[in-house]
Amino acid sequence: MPKFSANLSMLFTELPFLDRFVAAARADFQAVEFLFPYAFPAQEIRRRLDDNGLQLVLHNLPAGNWEAGERGIACDPARTGEFRAGIAQAIDYAQALGVGQLNCLAGKAPAGVAAQALHDTFVDNLFRAATAFKAADLRLLIEPINTFDIPGFYLNRTDQALAILDAVGADNAFVQYDIYHAQRMEGELAATLQKHLQRIGHIQLADNPGRNEPGTGEINYPFLFAHLDRIGYSGWIGCEYKPATSTEAGLGWRQRMLAA
């Protein structure tokens, strides 16, 4: 039976961030995830988790200036010092919040930087992060993101992510497989999940087109949920979609999909 985590950066966004935890619990989520915790004291987020009986299953490493359009800095040779400082900050928050895995966003490829330099920078930064995470008993994730939504995003396909992880060579580093992004870039969802299940640390979802809730687009989610059960995926599935109307109005997809 799939376990769904509410992504609080996408769901309940009509509420202030710290009020989304109680909304998630009232909507029968047992776990949450979000992009970044760093704008808030870790102890305040931890209190919201504990007060609402929620488990935190994921957040990201610092990823540059999000409001200005940056979507990660891990592939940028000019930002390695900032990235390394972010590793320590991410570990501090992870340990305070009780989360076991963190996602590293590669970012957009900076203009004028050679492909080999982008690759080598990303691999080196990931190796440093994975080494520090290993000491802290954390898993490192990397996420391919489609280049229709984020033009120029460096990491955009599953095979590329796996090759990067091979180069990193860390046994605590995995792919974060977002079904929506994978559908837009490559398809072959069921086959890819089955083939690479042991290297997938976390799964996220949204339908396509529109990035709305399951059941609004072309992806056969009842089949995929049954498939994930068959192949033995036991982790959380993050609900990282844009509600077509309101979060609450769209939540009936969980019952419909699991009954199908």
Q: Which residues are identified as catalytic?
A: 143, 240
CA atoms lying within 13 Å on the CB side of residue 65:
4
What's the first-to-final CA gap in the chain, in angstroms?
A: 13
Tell me if 155 sits within 8 A of 121, measured CB to CB: no
Q: Which two tokens stand for residue 228?
A: 């994930």
Q: Which two tokens stand for residue 231?
A: 């192949």
User: What whole-number distance in Å separates Cα of residue 195 and Cα of residue 106?
Assistant: 23
Spatial CB neighbours of 251, under 8 Å, sequence gap ≥ 6: 27, 213
